[in-house]
Structure 1
Amino acid sequence: MPAITTEPLRIAVLADSDTRWKWGALTARRLAPAGVEIRLDGFLLRGRATPTARQLQETGAHADSLREVTAVEFVRGMAEERYDVLVLALVGGGVQAMLHGLRHAWGSGPRPVVVTGYVGVVYEKLADGLLLRHGADLVLANSAHDAERFRDVYEGVGADASAVTEVALPFLDGAPYTGQHEPFTVVFAAQPSVPASRADRAYLLSRLIGHARRHPGREVLLKLRSKPGEHTTHIEELPYQKLVRGMDPPANFRLVYGHMGEVLDRTDLLVTVSSTAALESLHRRVPTAVLTDLGVREALGNHHFTGSGCLTSWDRIDAGELPKPDPAWVARQGVVSGGTPSGGGSYEAAFDTARERIAALLTRPGSLPPLDPYYTAETAPGYLPGILARHHLGPDGAPLPGAP
């Protein structure tokens, strides 16, 4: 695709957690045409999940500038600063608030191309989350499967579905798995809120420790997302670091932090309930197990993996099972082992359509039309004002008096 301009492409990313910052920053870089210099400015939305410096470092996603802002501060800043592309890497309500706040701030004047999407597996609140993201110029879907579902939701409520754009997760990289390491390494990818109860989390931890005892020749790692006191995309009420106290794990069991890609470099079996890490693992052809011990349930998110060939239990893993993924299922998820997305071509080409759409929007005559979310004072008068008020915005998107 030809370069849009000889000037650096200016991209802003607004994120509200460490995982969303990682997705937003890496997506922003993949959206830039090859050979085009970019300037990436990062903004962290102040809130309960605002990442720490350690968490930001672990993501491996960097920016030319990075600062913390309130919603109103960001909206006011966007009215004064010029950007070509804005990536909203936020929870659904945050995206909706920004769409209305920015619509009010920009009016019918010049504005950037606005892009949003999802960090990983979309297994809950599909309609709610999608409609809260409606109004962006591009709503990114991480696979053909997601793109089809997204369009069905929008068309089903009479909303314009043209913004849905198929891409892939931006952090699927690293060398493909070529064979067992020494020692054989099992990694359990923990999730902050799945499962939620103490009993279920203690069960999974006891089985992981039990696997380490049954296989003293293996290295068994519990990969954690955050340290006690830190928050990520989902709040962790019962961190495994606390649950492991008093369980007396064997010497071949360890807690690990760090970049998921680096952990996968030495992994022979990735075990999880429903973490997006499973997609990273499958992309690299690492054997991947999605647990059924607590049931296959929407509340756990592992129902997303039905048909994948990865569903199994600790009993089978203890007995030596290494699940074999179904190629057709993996292809539909945009993470075909070997890096070929469902539509054919290479993983590197997965963002081509998004780049082309952004280029067309940036080169069209005149200003882009005002943002047009599905939710308005007419379509959702009992829902929208509360979402906006949480970010100190009025029903019309204007900052409320006394907003921080």
Structure 2
Amino acid sequence: MGHRTNCLSSVLDVPASTHERVRIAVLADSDTRWKWGALTARRIAASEPTGFVLRGRATPTARQLAETGVSDTPPREVTGAEFLREVRDGAYDLVVLALVGGTVRAVLQGIADLGLERRPVIVTGYVGVVYEKLADGLLLRHGADVVLANSRHDAERFRAVYEGVGADASSVVEAALPFLGGAPYAPEAGRDTLVFAAQPSVPVTRADRAYLLRRLVDHARKHPGREVLLKLRSKPGEHTTHLEELPYQKLVRDLDVPPNFRLVYGHMGEVLDRTDLMVTVSSTAALEALHRRIPTAILSDMGVREVLGNHHFIGSGLLTSFDRLDADIRPKPDEEWLSRQGVAADGSYEKAFDAARERVAELLAGPALPPIDPYYTAETAPGYLPGILARHRLDVTATPTRDSGLRRIVREAARGAYRHGVQRVAPVIRRLGEL
């Protein structure tokens, strides 16, 4: 993996433990959640997981999976029912669910319905900053044996939600984001690089996205000696954790950009290696940058609002505007805030997963686990839960037909044709239409 491995050296060099033979399955529903799930598995059990990605609207492409840089062996694409059959037949000790809340609840139900004599330990959590649907997302994840919190701040919030509804909060374990790493920030003579970390769904409107893009381009014009990079998560036609309706690649075609402004892709760790100022609205990339002590700015231009997620950074000292950045006024982070947010810029990162390792070790070494006991049941949420389970249709008891292999091949070929059409043919047709 070359340089990419170096970027993640502190992530991948997990201390050896007594669980080196633990069989782990990771199920993810996007490229970013695959990255979180695979690295979390290594952090808490020091074993190489078997990876699966859930077939759905955000199923990542091979390029996206490779770009995460977490494994040379790509995860296998499966349906929910196929994954449950893997759990039933694969004798896994540990299952990491890197999924949205509703899918976590459906898979929990599916595993419970398998009736295994000794079921695996189930771990779940969040891929980044939790700034919306806190209660709903947490209650949908309740029933997992371990619900990881990425910071002390999150652990306190998670426990308060569970205790507030009378649910068992013992599953909440404080940890950190598993992909923090890389060398501490060191300025280089002659290098001046600003990176804007774009988000697929923040902001949502065309006007707001066009505003951010215009201000970024204007900033590049005002600072011709500065390299201004717009870091994008996906290419046109690809999906990630959130769907992107108005990609910046399309909006930028309407602008005359200076030579020091560029769009970039690739592994975030590699981009951060050459970053002198990280700018974003609320991306988790800010936490990655702060962990490395890279100067970071959170934009307040469109307000500090829950819908944008930048309200999460209240008290951080990082909120600022393009006007101030244009004037080279950079914010400074509040050290107490950094400590509470799991950034671990003080060198404590390697201990951040100790509690999770100990909890998982205890569960693995103990007797057979009790039945899964989620908060949302037919008794507590009869008007909500049935719809969630029905949407996922996890019928693991259905017997595969003799032509299921052929149908899988046809389905995968169709998906390949669709992706080719979206990523290659459609852009050409759009360009021809603009001539």
TM (norm. structure 2) is: 0.86
SS of the counterpart of 1:307? Answer: coil
1:336-386 Cα offsets, whole Å, 9 max, x none, are 3243xxxxxx21111111111111111113x11111111111111111111
State the one-letter code of the partner of 2:136.
D
Spell out the pairing of 1:144-183 with structure 2 (5 A cutoff).
Answer: 144-180=152-188, 182-183=190-191
- Say whether 1:325 aligns with 2:338: no
Letter in 2 for 1:383: Y
| Structure 2 letter corresponding to 1:9 | V
The answer to whether the 8 A contact 1:39-1:64 is kept is: no
Residues 40 and 64 in structure 1, CA contact (< 8 A), matched pair in contact too: no
Aligned equivalent of 1:240, options 248, 263, 273? 248
- Indicate the residue corresponding to 2:378 in structure 1: 377
Q: 2:96 aligned to 70, 76, 87, which one?
A: 87
8 Å CA contact 1:393, 1:400 repeated in 2: no
Q: d(CA) in 2 for partners of 1:55 and 1:181?
A: 33
Shift of 1:3: 4.3
1:294 is aligned to 2:299? no
TM-score by length of 1: 0.93
Deviation at 1:326, TM superposition (A): 0.3
Q: Does 1:61 align with 2:70?
A: yes
User: Could you tell me which residue of structure 1 aligns to residue 239 of structure 2?
Assistant: 231
For 2:361 and 2:162, locate their aligned partners in 1 and report how far apart those are by CA, in whole Å: 24
- CA drift of 1:81 comes to 1.1
| 1:119 is the counterpart of 2:132 | no
Asked whether 1:19 is paired with 2:32, we answer yes
- Residues of 1 paired with 2:363 and 2:127: CA distance? 24
**C-alpha displacement of 1:183:** 2.9
Partners of 2:233 and 2:240 within 8 A in 1: yes
- Secondary structure of the residue that 1:9 maps to in structure 2? coil
Structure 1: state its 5+ residue gaps: 340-345
Q: Deviations over 1:238-276 (max 9, x none)?
A: 000000002010000000000001100000100000000
- How many pairs were matched up? 389
> Is 1:277 the counterpart of 2:285 in the alignment?
yes
Which amino acid is 1:16 matched to?
Answer: D
Structure 2 partner of 1:354: 356
Once the two structures are TM-superposed, the CA of residue 389 in structure 1 deviates from its matched residue by 1.0
Aligned partners of 1:4 and 1:363 also within 8 Å: no
Is the alpha carbon distance of 1:2 and 1:21 closer, same or farther for their aligned partners in structure 2, counting shifts above 3 Å?
Answer: closer
Structure 2 contact 65–74 (Cα < 8 Å) conserved: no
Partner-residue secondary structure (3-state), 2:40: helix
Which residue among 248, 259, 262 is the counterpart of 1:251? 259
Q: Distance in 1 between matches of 2:34 and 2:72?
A: 10
Structure 1 counterpart of 2:390, one-letter code: A
Q: Is the 8 A contact 2:174 2:356 kept in 1?
A: yes
Offset from partner CA, 1:217-243 (integer Å, 9 cap, x none)? 000000000000000000000000000
Q: Separation in 2 of the partners of 1:76 and 1:369?
A: 20
SS at match of 2:75: strand
> Residues 41 and 48 of structure 2 are in contact (CA less than 8 Å); yes or no, is this contact kept in structure 1?
no
- Asked if the contact 2:66–2:74 (Cα under 8 Å) also holds between the matched residues in 1, the reply is no
Structure 1: 4+ residue segments shifted above 6 A: 397-404
The percent of aligned pairs where both chains have the same amino acid is: 72
Deviation of 1:393 after TM superposition, in Å, equals: 3.6
Per-residue CA deviation, residues 159-192 of structure 1 (Å, 9 max, x unaligned), is 0000000000001100011225523000000000
Q: Give 1:347's aligned amino acid.
A: Y
> How far apart are 1:21 and its partner, in Å?
0.4
CA distance in 1, matches of 2:135, 2:221: 44
Distance 1:399 1:158 in 2: 36
Question: How far, CA to CA, are the matches of 1:320 and 1:257 in structure 2?
Answer: 26
Amino acid at match of 2:100: V
Contact kept in structure 2, 1:104 and 1:398, CA below 8 Å:
no
Q: Partner of 2:219 in structure 1?
A: 211
**What SS does structure 1 have at the residue aligned with 2:350?**
helix
Q: 2:31·2:241 contact (CA, 8 Å) conserved in 1?
A: yes
| Counterpart amino acid of residue 311 in structure 2 | H
CA distance in 1, matches of 2:88, 2:317: 49
Q: Measure the CA separation in 2 of the matches of 1:253 and 1:261.
A: 20
Measured at CA, do residues 317 and 3 of structure 1 come closer, stay the same or move farther in structure 2, by a change above 3 Å? closer
Structure 2 unaligned segments of length 5 or more: list them.
1-14, 409-435
Matched, 1:100 2:109: yes
